[in-house]
Homo-oligomer: A and B are copies of this chain.
Amino acid sequence: MRFEVTILGSNSATPLYGRNHTAQILNCNETISLIDCGEGTQLQMQRYGLKVNRIKYIFISHLHGDHYLGLVGLISSMHLNGRKEDLYLFGPAGLQEIIDLQLHYAETTLRYNLIFKATNPNHAAYILADTNFDVQSFPLSHRINCTGFVFKQKQRLPKINRALVESLDIPTTYYPLLKQGIDYTDNKGKLHRAIDLTTPAPPPKSYAFCSDTVNTPSYWPYITSVDLLYHEATFLHEMIDRAIETFHTTALQAGEIAKKVGAKQLLIGHFSARYKDLQPLLLESKTVFENTLLAIEGQTFEI
């Protein structure tokens, strides 16, 4: 089952060096989510051959412009492209008001349903149960209300061992029961254990998105043992005072967090415009957490 994230933007505050503002596409078994939506996200999607109307869910972490200013343009383009399917939007409560005001002045009524669900900035909450994955939001600690998101695949059922069940003449109608772990007794009274006739599905994988936050243990319980942790790393650690002052994280801290929560892999982003070369940020994180990667635009990371 495909579970991968594509980076559309990775720069903080002001876009520079061709680096755009935060936006990511998460593909979970061909169900497409957009996580944050900086200015120019729809242009970035075109650039990387991604169709905007395939997006089913949008998750916005907070209302700093570099994380959502592409949203009204994106939902307007979906409208102009003739979208009919419902679109689900999760984000801070004020987002609804911002969208409504802009659509009001444009005298535009969307041709599809935009279903908005406000995130809770104070408590973690399960906000979505899709067929393929669940999503939990949790509070981060930023200058304004900000939430992270964890995307966890659903535990899939075991796979039938076809050759074996066919050799035993087990009726196909019984296959779903075997997958559920229900044993089969044949007409001679012989018991065939479901566990012997199936192969367990791989354990479900998880992706955590921590957009903007100061380093604090309060949100670590929600990102424990994730397979891939995206964490902001706005500054090098020599800028720790500035990081604290602006409620951001250093690359060293991002590496330490990944290590502490037992993440399998770390993806750092939200780079300050002061860094033209990102290698020092990568190297700094790697000093504590070797399995660090840079969130480079256009790259896709398997989770």
Contact = CB atoms under 8 A, between A and B. Distances in A.
A64 B15 contact: no
| A: interface residue count bin | 35 or more
Interface string A34-52: 0000011011001000000
Contacts of A63: 102, 105-106
A24 interface: no
Nearest to A104: B94
Contacts of A81: 14
Choose among A39, A104, A107, A143 the residue with the greatest number of B CB atoms under 10 Å from its CB: A39
A124 interface: no
A69 interface: yes
Given A40-B40, A80-B14, A105 B98 contact: yes
A105 B81 CA distance: 29
A70 interface: yes
Contact of A102 (B40, B42, B65): B65
Interface of A: 13-16, 20-21, 39-40, 42-43, 46, 63-66, 69-70, 72-73, 76-77, 80-81, 92, 94, 97-98, 101-102, 104-107, 143-144
